[in-house]
Chains A and B, each alone.
Chain A
Amino acid sequence: MLSKSAARAFFLGGTVLCAVAFVGLTVDTLGRIPAQTHQGEITDAVRRGKDLWDRSNCMGCHTLLGEGAYYAPELTKVFERRGPVFIRAMLTDPEKMYPGQRRMWKYDFSERDKDDLIAFFQWIGKMDLNGFPPKPTLAQMATTTGLAATVDRPQIFNQLCVACHALGGQGGQVGPALDGVGGRMAPAQIAAWLADPPAIKPGTQMPKLPLTDGQRQELTAFLSTLK
């Protein structure tokens, strides 16, 4: 039967072999990471953004590249999903964006800090991650309207508004669903509401969003079609 010295040889041999292979693969990987992660696009802003990401321990609640905690959303594709307007509003006062919901720490970020974090997310979003995060393959089944229906919406609607409002059964549940809103409200009312919700209805949970005039017009036109 197996002797102790043979067992030791198995241990030492296997370990050395695998360790050498691992170091070799690491060297190869280190050579490929710059291209796969667009390392050339790491600007000073991205660098400062990463530093803020670390110092603020965002990973203590969120995941990035799927790594971190499971208390708050995955942020790898947040730039594409929510866009800079939403991210900036969230970093300014998170509780305003999700009133009465699970709370995010209110950091004292300067405007430059917010720019830096947005730059960091934009850089992260462009990495080639071998297919992560996966596309939700069952999405079609779950909703009668399907994904195609979201294509004709303004991008800002898909990024910002759906965080709190649902349309066609998809989206958040913080605010009321927006199906039929064009029938309930006139375009002028919608435009005024979007400009400053608390001014129209004091105490509302919807914050004043940092929208540009163009975005507000686009949204008003779109919402008015929802009859």
Chain B
Amino acid sequence: MKYESQRVAWWFFATCMLLFGLQLVYGLIMGYAHAGHDPLHPIIPFHVARAVHTNLLVVWLLTGFMGAAYFIIPEEADRELYWPKLAYVQLIALVVVGVVAIIGFHLQWWEGRKFLEIPRPLDFLVVVDVLLFIANIGMTIWKGKRMTTTSMVLFFGLLMAALLYLPGMIPTDNQTLDSYWRWWVVHLWVEGVWELIMGAILSFLLIKLTGVDREVIEKWLYVIVGFTFLSGILGTGHHYYWIGTPRYWLLIGGVFSALEPLAFLGMAIYAIAMARKGGRAHPNRVALQWTIGCAVMSFVGAGFLGFAHTLPQVNLYTHGTLVTAMHGHMAFWGAYAMLVLAMISYALPLLTGRKRHDTPSASFAFWTSNIGMIAMTLAFAVAGITQVVLERRVGMDFVTVQKEIEVHFWGLLLAAGLFILGISAYIYNFIRHGKPVAEVQGGGDSGASPPAAEAA
């Protein structure tokens, strides 16, 4: 840790751990309900559990991105945060809004719009809070000693994420328009600007962990985020096939979204190539494991499994089935959950001054959670494909089909058990690192010492 104000990142990361843990509990409730047991129905019916599960996911990921930015930006800009106290205020405000939203969901205070369930008054508070955050890191960059590509890409990713939240609030009576704008938030986040954030955080981690020259890493960062927007913006069309929008979206959405995996493939190749290229091994091997794991699993979950149902000929049958849930889990896990976990793994020893990165439990957490998630994805896949065949192709009744696939949800729960074991080990490690009491090192470029700069 180079600057005193980076310490705030730890509090963001601790919040992440808490919300992530809670998210999984609600996942289990839904898994049991799908398996045929909903004893909690009178208190936490499925639609409550679902709103809590997905919103906690989004909130802990955003909290993680903010924590990452508060750690990365001072280091990149070579100065303390512009308003260090504001960062704490902003975290507390975010947590308060989050808690109110979660309690509100249990009282069924919400907007029933998938992923954007947070009630309108709270939406505005979220936007204000995020803008404060953006202002803080923006001023830090502006007043900093240097303006790196990594910090600019991160900054613009976060800024665009905040701005793209706004179309989701456009009022309309028409369900089609409602969906149309909802995707400007949901799709343009995960397959657009969040990828900028992902690219920037990965490149920061790769610079630190592999010691490859910044110029090389940042050049490829541009290429990757270039591919992201080239495919991802018009790729939004893959959500406009069947919602009452013109037919040309079948062609545009199909072609461009089919190219989206390229950005993720780029990310995977880039991470592996840089790790190979890096001369000196950084002692924090686990952080590198998560970094490369993130790049690879995001290709599997978002790239490969996204491609699997993105062509209109396929999507006609899989649209709105458990096949989507299969893709949703692996994509969010690989691209964004693992990204935040990679960042935490890297930053934690620096924040706390405890170098616990080589413990067996750290490695156990990585492997167990990933194997668990792969198994969960397989369970969703079998359930989803069976549903598609029986319901959409054979024409069997929905409820009858759900009875038929209940057994796969026992498989899901088993896999989830493994996954939760891995995540528990991760959280255990987090706790064992203790409070952020590391000494401040002061300015100057440190991290892994770079091998001879190399222009490629």
Contact = CB atoms under 8 A, between A and B. Distances in A.
Interface in B241-284: 241-250, 252
B179 A67 contact: yes
Contacts of B179: 65, 67
A167 interface: no
A37 to B, nearest CB: 4
Given A65-B243, A136-B394, A7 B226 contact: yes
Nearest to B389: A138
A70 interface: yes
A142 B393 CA distance: 10
Contact of A55 (B112, B250, B392): B112
A171 B403 CA distance: 13
Interface string B281-306: 00000000000000000000000000
Contact of B252 (A14, A25, A132, A134): A25
Interface in A53-67: 53-61, 63-67
Nearest to B319: A66
B246 A28 contact: yes
B234 A2 contact: no
A132 B395 contact: no
B111 interface: yes
Interface stretch (A99-107, A182-190, A198-206): A99-107
Interface in A1-33: 1-4, 7-8, 10-11, 14-15, 18-19, 21-22, 25-26, 28-30, 32-33
Contacts of B33: 71, 102
Nearest to A34: B174
B394 A139 contact: yes
Interface string A145-161: 00000000000000000
A74 interface: yes
A36 to B, nearest CB: 5
Interface residues of B, number: 78
Contact of A60 (B47, B245, B395): B47
Interface residues of A, number: 77
B99 interface: no
Contacts, number: 215
B222 interface: yes
Kindly name the residue among B240, B244, B252, B325 whose own CB sees the greatest number of chain A CB atoms within 10 A: B244
Interface string B170-188: 0001111111100000000
A14 B117 CA distance: 33
Interface in A65-80: 65-74
A61 B234 CA distance: 29
B300 to A, nearest CB: 21
A2 B223 contact: yes
Contacts of A216: none
A32 B317 CA distance: 25
B381 interface: no
Interface string B138-179: 000000000001000000000000000000000001111111
B110 A1 contact: no
Interface of B: 30, 33-34, 36, 38, 41, 45-48, 50-51, 108, 110-114, 117, 149, 173-180, 215, 218-220, 222-223, 225-227, 229-230, 233-234, 236, 240-250, 252, 316-317, 319-322, 324-325, 387, 389, 391-400, 402-403, 455-456
28 contacts: A2-B219, A7-B226, A15-B233, A21-B233, A25-B234, A29-B180, A36-B176, A36-B244, A57-B110, A57-B111, A57-B117, A58-B47, A59-B47, A60-B50, A61-B50, A65-B176, A65-B179, A70-B324, A70-B387, A71-B30, A71-B34, A98-B399, A103-B38, A132-B242, A133-B392, A134-B392, A137-B393, A139-B394
Given A14-B229, A68-B320, 12 more contacts: A7-B226, A8-B149, A26-B180, A29-B180, A57-B47, A58-B112, A59-B47, A60-B48, A66-B319, A69-B114, A101-B399, A103-B45
